[in-house]
Structure 1
Amino acid sequence: MESTIIYDVKEQVCTITLNRPEVFNALNLQLVRDLIAGLKRADLDPLVRVVILKGAGKAWCAGGDLEELLELTNGCAAERRAYLVNFKEMIDTLRGISKPIIAAVHGACVGGGNEVNIACDLTIASERAKFGQAGPRVGSIPAFGVPQNLQILVGEKRSREITYFCDLYKASEAEDMGWINKVVAPEDLDAEAEKWAQKIIEKSPTAITLGKKMHNIYYDTLSSSAEMGVEMLTLFWGTEEAREGMLAFKEKRIPVFD
């Protein structure tokens, strides 16, 4: 089976590119597993000091794979739980590897894609990038990054607004909120990500690794919250509301929630 990521190492920088451009890099199970494997490979490679995470095509990552999620709404709870454990592992791996990860976001970064972004150490975005959550509009809920970490970045009230309203925000708005680090012109995004990677490479690798671990201490205390997210999604994806939200999004109509 062909990999859904592109893995490349050059001058101590590992670039991992989400490579499902035909579906805006939607997170299906294979992409999640391929990303986990790629991150662990980079972590074990002594020649890699920094990871840059990119997306192929127009979007960075548009969230979960709708076709897979619709199938899960017809399955049993055990199937949904087994599926979701992989997503939690992906977020834990993004947080847990010893190498810093720079998200270089050029397009849509929504839903599960935004949760991946939040789990990265740093985020540089193109002026064309858009950020947001879509769960309550499309039959899902944020479970692995927004409840635990977005409110730390932007504040609790703003995090609730982002979650409840499902609006899209410009990169400049996300920067102003503290959601991301920096906004650059589209043509400068790759060069700026490389520049930031080189800044990290110049520093003590052990100090950087320990610094990442120290920053993760608070996240680690919230691991039970992420486990609760697995259980909540397991239950919610078995409801008619979840299925209606997904079907409405697929059929490009307004959902009807009774």
Structure 2
Amino acid sequence: MTYQDLLYEIRNGVAWITINRPEKMNAFRGTTCNELIRALHKAGYDREIGAIVLAGAGDRAFCTGGDQSAHDGNYDGRGTIGLPMEELHQAIRDVPKPVIARVQGYAIGGGNVLATLCDLTICSEKAVFGQVGPKMGSVDPGYGTAFLARIVGEKKAREIWYLCRRYSGREAMAMGLANICVPHEELDATVQQWAEEICERSPSAIAIAKRSFNMDTAHQAGIAGMGMYALKLYYDTEESREGVRALQEKRKPQFRKYAK
């Protein structure tokens, strides 16, 4: 299986899926999302694989969310908003193998949502977490908001989304968004060590445990689907488009003059 936007390799029973768009800060487009879904399913249902690592190429970014150059009221792929986000998020949750986010740099916007959704998150001291949606004319109305509140607490989740601040790897670990923060040069070894420990455990027990953990938030899939339709309508407004224009023109957005 070949990929345009991903690297896929097996390391001692661990599947490493790496978003390979470092020139775009590993932002995802339609192709990236489709390939991530395929790769997750390939690894998730391979009996020789015990754990999955989701990573980003290069040193700068794990993932910075949707590629804004492919966004003009709609992204460039399939799905409600031109990106099959509901399917991608559900794939991370549904595959019967733990998915570990390996965060070496920026985990911003949709990339922060991916790190939130993964079963475990291991980050470098150079990692930076945060949301940008309300600064960009966007938001994740599904797992990115509701599930984040479960992970870090409702007040902290609201802070992350309303203020769009950035948080270090150490801060992410303290709030429960990351399991552990390690020196940058130890990141890959730590991720592989944790993954190999999982590989030594009973795969059936792990699969049951994962489904059990996810059971009490399964209803959020429906909320996410409805939220994406609302987001599509929002993307068609001048208020949302102002965020994209401001980014392209390197200025502060003026959202309020378009709000209805």
> TM-score w.r.t. structure 1 length?
0.94
Alignment deviations for residues 85-118 of structure 1 (CA, whole Å, 9 cap, x no partner): x111000001110010111100000111111111
Unaligned runs of 5+ in 2: none
What residue in structure 1 maps to residue 80 of structure 2? 81
Asked if structure 2 preserves the Cα contact closer than 8 Å seen for 1:146 and 1:159, the reply is no
Asked if structure 1 preserves the Cα contact closer than 8 Å seen for 2:81 and 2:232, the reply is no
1:241 aligns with 2:243: no
What residue in structure 2 maps to residue 195 of structure 1? 193
Q: C-alpha displacement at 1:221, in angstroms?
A: 2.0
Asked if structure 2 preserves the Cα contact closer than 8 Å seen for 1:7 and 1:14, the reply is yes
What residue in structure 2 maps to residue 35 of structure 1? 36
What residue in structure 2 maps to residue 127 of structure 1? 125
Q: C-alpha displacement at 1:247, in angstroms?
A: 1.2
Q: C-alpha displacement at 1:81, in angstroms?
A: 2.0
1:103 aligns with 2:101: yes
Q: C-alpha displacement at 1:148, in angstroms?
A: 2.1
Asked if structure 2 preserves the Cα contact closer than 8 Å seen for 1:125 and 1:171, the reply is yes
Q: C-alpha displacement at 1:44, in angstroms?
A: 2.1
Q: What is the correspondence of 1:127-146 to structure 2 with a 5 Å cutoff?
A: 127-146=125-144
* Equivalent-residue separation in structure 1 for 2:186 and 2:90 (angstroms): 30
Match of 1:226, as an amino acid? Answer: A
Q: C-alpha displacement at 1:82, in angstroms?
A: 5.7
* Equivalent-residue separation in structure 1 for 2:127 and 2:243 (angstroms): 25
What residue in structure 2 maps to residue 208 of structure 1? 206
* Equivalent-residue separation in structure 1 for 2:17 and 2:79 (angstroms): 27
> TM-score w.r.t. structure 2 length?
0.93
* Equivalent-residue separation in structure 2 for 1:39 and 1:146 (angstroms): 19
What residue in structure 2 maps to residue 117 of structure 1? 115
Q: Give SS of 1:176's match.
A: helix
Alignment deviations for residues 103-148 of structure 1 (CA, whole Å, 9 cap, x no partner): 1100000111111111110000000000011001011012232222
Check 1:99–1:2 CA distance in 2 against 1; reply closer, same or farther (3 A cut).
Answer: closer
Asked if structure 1 preserves the Cα contact closer than 8 Å seen for 2:64 and 2:107, the reply is yes
* Equivalent-residue separation in structure 2 for 1:124 and 1:197 (angstroms): 11
Q: Give SS of 1:131's match.
A: strand
Q: Give SS of 1:128's match.
A: coil
Q: Give SS of 2:252's match.
A: coil
What residue in structure 1 maps to residue 223 of structure 2? 225
Alignment deviations for residues 48-104 of structure 1 (CA, whole Å, 9 cap, x no partner): 11001110022110111102222528x9xxx872624x1110000011100101111
Q: What is the correspondence of 1:143-222 to structure 2 with a 5 Å cutoff?
A: 143-222=141-220
* Equivalent-residue separation in structure 1 for 2:199 and 2:144 (angstroms): 29
Check 1:2–1:13 CA distance in 2 against 1; reply closer, same or farther (3 A cut).
Answer: closer
What residue in structure 1 maps to residue 51 of structure 2? 50
Q: C-alpha displacement at 1:45, in angstroms?
A: 1.3
1:25 aligns with 2:26: yes
More helix by share: 1
Asked if structure 2 preserves the Cα contact closer than 8 Å seen for 1:13 and 1:49, the reply is yes
Unaligned runs of 5+ in 1: none
Q: Give SS of 2:17's match.
A: strand
Asked if structure 1 preserves the Cα contact closer than 8 Å seen for 2:109 and 2:133, the reply is yes
Q: C-alpha displacement at 1:250, in angstroms?
A: 2.0
Check 1:102–1:80 CA distance in 2 against 1; reply closer, same or farther (3 A cut).
Answer: closer
Identical positions, percent: 40
What residue in structure 2 maps to residue 60 of structure 1? 62
Asked if structure 2 preserves the Cα contact closer than 8 Å seen for 1:61 and 1:108, the reply is yes
